[in-house]
Amino acid sequence: FAVNLADSEILDPQRIWDLFQERRIDYGLWLLGENLRDFGMDFAGARIRSSRHRWVDRRVNVLISEALDFNQEVEAEFNRQSVSQLSMGQHAAYDIIVDTIDNNRRPNSFFLHGSAGRGKTFLYKSLCHLFNSRGQIVLCVASSGIASLLLPNGSTAHSRFKIPIECTEQSFCNVRAQSDLADLLRQTDLII
């Protein structure tokens, strides 16, 4: 609606807005219900009426859409440029990681370490560009907000994986099996 409105393609926007108002409200209620479920609540607990329609079949997973929101050709060019600048050590790590993921080998967890300025972030970006150029999903996370800013579409691990800030022996990540986040994680090819 916003795109069509911005492009002045709607002759009578108020009429269209009014015509679909009940559907917008119902869809909003359905989204609210999805969010409430993430917190272990429902409409009865929130004292709000539930949506009348089941929108799940019509809905797009926004998290997956956002994770795939890149230009594969641009990503391929970024990858070509960055790979040509990798050091021998970086290139060795790059090749091992790519081969492991491409061939679904185990173990498939890697720990890269080095002092500041040794090129870890550059290697992470190179890997991200490669897999994005193939249309694959890469999630870049870091332990702090500042560090996450250095990664493509980075976020904190706490935010992305719903890790509680206050961790106890009873703490757990609040990712429901049927949530959009769980679906995103299942479709993710690489987590950095």
Judged by phi (left if over 0) then psi (alpha if -120 to 50, else beta), residue 154 lies in: beta
Measured from the Cβ of residue 56, the count of other Cβ atoms closer than 10 Å reads: 9
pLDDT in tens, 22-55: 877 877 887 888 778 777 887 777 677 777 766 6
Per-residue pLDDT, averaged over 114-135, amounts to: 93
pLDDT at 166 exceeding the cut of 80: yes
Reported as a pLDDT band with limits 50, 70 and 90, residue 57 is low
pLDDT at 128 exceeding the cut of 90: yes
Per-residue pLDDT, averaged over 180-188, amounts to: 91
pLDDT at 180 exceeding the cut of 70: yes
Q: Which two tokens stand for residue 116?
A: 């500041």
pLDDT at 82 exceeding the cut of 90: yes
The whole model's pTM is what? 0.66
Reported as a pLDDT band with limits 50, 70 and 90, residue 173 is confident
The pLDDT value given to residue 8: 66
Q: Which two tokens stand for residue 21?
A: 């108002």
Q: Which two tokens stand for residue 3?
A: 């795109």
Reported as a pLDDT band with limits 50, 70 and 90, residue 134 is very high
Q: Please, is 128 exposed, middle or buried when counting C-beta atoms within 10 Å of its C-beta (0-12, 13-18, 19+)?
A: buried
Task: Report yes or no: 120 and 91 within 8 Å, Cβ to Cβ.
Answer: no
User: Across all residues in the chain, what is the average pLDDT?
Assistant: 85
Concatenate the DSSP letters of all residues of 129-143 into one string. Answer: HHHHHTT-EEE-EES
The pLDDT value given to residue 177: 83
Q: Which two tokens stand for residue 36?
A: 């409430």
Q: Which two tokens stand for residue 29?
A: 């209620």
Per-residue pLDDT, averaged over 155-173, amounts to: 86
Measured from the Cβ of residue 87, the count of other Cβ atoms closer than 10 Å reads: 12
- CA 128, 130, 131, 134 dihedral sign is positive
DSSP state letter for 57: G
